[in-house]
Amino acid sequence: MEPLVLQANLFPPELTAIRIVGLAIAAAIAAFAIARRRALRNIDVIILLAIALGLAIVAGTQLLDAVLSAFSFQRSNGTRIVGVAVFAILILLLLVIRALSQSSRITRELSGVLEGLAWEQFRVDGHPEQFRDKVGVLIPAYNEADSIGWVLDRIPPAVCGVETAVLVVDDGSRDGTPEIAAEHGAVVARHLINRGGGAALRTGYRLMSDSGASIVVTLDADGQHLPSQMERLVEPVLSGEVAIAHGSRVLGESESGHYARELGIVFFNRMVSLMTRTKVSDCSNGYRAVRADVLPQLVLRQEQFHTSEFLIEAIKRGIPAKEVPVTVASRMHGHSKKPAVVRYGLGFANAIVRAWLR
């Protein structure tokens, strides 16, 4: 008779209002999962049905009580509530981890789609041949209509005796930036939506690498990087001294900026130097020249805080590099697209740590 007693104890002596509500919610979740099974992914349907089943078991049986008792959460001093909270937090943590993983996957897929669309249009328009064996000048731009023309007019037609060709990757601008860039002689690739400077550079790197460019130079569209100093970066790469030449305002010159941001640059320079065991004087400078054939070796994922990621990736993979003194001027027009100081610092630190741990 003992098994019958255990079976009887599995079910509550009465269905209270809260148990009835729990069973109703479980039935609603199960019905939703079944009704939307064609629209939802299989794993999402399984998760919803599992949640419905779990809620039904909790609301319609005393199995949860048995489990909590097994973990010494007794019906006294509120420990049973603590036990329920612990299990709920664990389940919530698993769901959050899954959501973050799914979000990361969607972001990568979206980036791949944007890069693919840009490359297909680039190829159809016959642009790859314009960059073959040349110094490809890559400029990511977002709402820089006031300054992009000035920058493009000052790109030298040749650097160290090698002809240049300019690619502007427009990152979803709405102010006429791509039209102005085209009027000033640049080839323009477009992102339909704004994804960030890192995403624009990834697209540009792919186009340059697939087009057979010999060296790729990156600089900002806001006038902070001086095209007249491009030879300083290209020469050590072209001569074979290094594969990457990073611009450094610390070795060169820069106009004073926000005190907190300047202090942050000093901190992050020391942080990167310590983590990589390599002396780095300017980890946030995007003015650089890189041999195009090393670009496929770099794993670049940052949408916005991309300068330190590139530098750390190159160091980790043992790619020969050096820093070159350059000047960083003030923006010509408008305001910086960077977030506020605190958000910028947190984002920059996150990019550094993730690139280092990868």
**Residue 192 in contact with residue 203, Cβ under 8 Å?**
no
pLDDT beyond 60 at 142: yes
| Position 106 confidence tier, pLDDT thresholds 50, 70, 90 | confident
In this prediction, residues 205-210 reach a mean pLDDT of 93
pLDDT of residue 336: 61
- With a cut of 60, say whether residue 2 has pLDDT above it: no
Query: Residue 24 above 70 pLDDT?
Result: yes
Q: Which of 23-32, 92-101, 224-233 has the highest mean pLDDT?
A: 224-233
- Is the pLDDT score of 79 beyond 70? no
Average pLDDT of every residue of the chain: 86
Let me know: does 217 contact 223? Beta carbons within 8 Å: no
Q: What's residue 312's pLDDT? A: 94
Q: Determine the Cα–Cα distance for residues 265 and 354; give it in Å rounded to an integer.
A: 18
- In single-letter form, the type of residue at position 81 comes to I
Contact residues for 2 (Cβ-Cβ < 8 A; gap 6+): none
Predicted local distance difference test score (pLDDT) of residue 165: 96
Tell me the CATH number of domain 105-357, given options 3.40.190.10, 3.90.550.10, 1.10.630.10, 3.10.20.30.
3.90.550.10
pLDDT at 68 exceeding the cut of 90? no
Confidence of residue 77 (pLDDT cuts 50, 70, 90): low
DSSP E strand stretches across 204-348: 215-218, 244-254, 288-291, 321-328
How far is the CA of 30 from the CAs of 54, 55, 61, 90, in angstroms?
11, 10, 18, 22
Please determine, for residue 138, whether its predicted confidence score (pLDDT) is greater than 60: yes
Q: What is the pLDDT of residues 225-280, one digit of tens each?
A: 999 999 999 999 999 999 999 999 999 988 766 666 678 888 999 999 999 999 99
What does pTM read for this prediction? 0.74
Higher local confidence (pLDDT), 115 or 197: 197
| pLDDT score at 5 | 45
- Please state whether beta strands 187-191 and 158-159 pair in parallel, antiparallel, or not at all (unpaired): unpaired
pLDDT band at 339 (very low <50, low <70, confident <90, very high): low
Is the predicted pLDDT of residue 128 greater than 80, yes or no?
yes
Domain ranges in the chain are: 2-104, 105-357
Instruction: Supply 195's token pair.
Output: 């994804």
Asked if 138 and 225 count as a contact pair (C-beta separation under 8 A), the reply is no
φ, ψ of residue 244 to 5 degrees: the values are -140, 135
Q: Classify residue 90 as left (phi > 0), alpha (psi -120 to 50) or beta.
A: alpha
- The CA distances from residue 342 to 195, 197, 264, 347, in Å, are 21, 19, 10, 9
Both tokens of 236, joined, read 């050590």
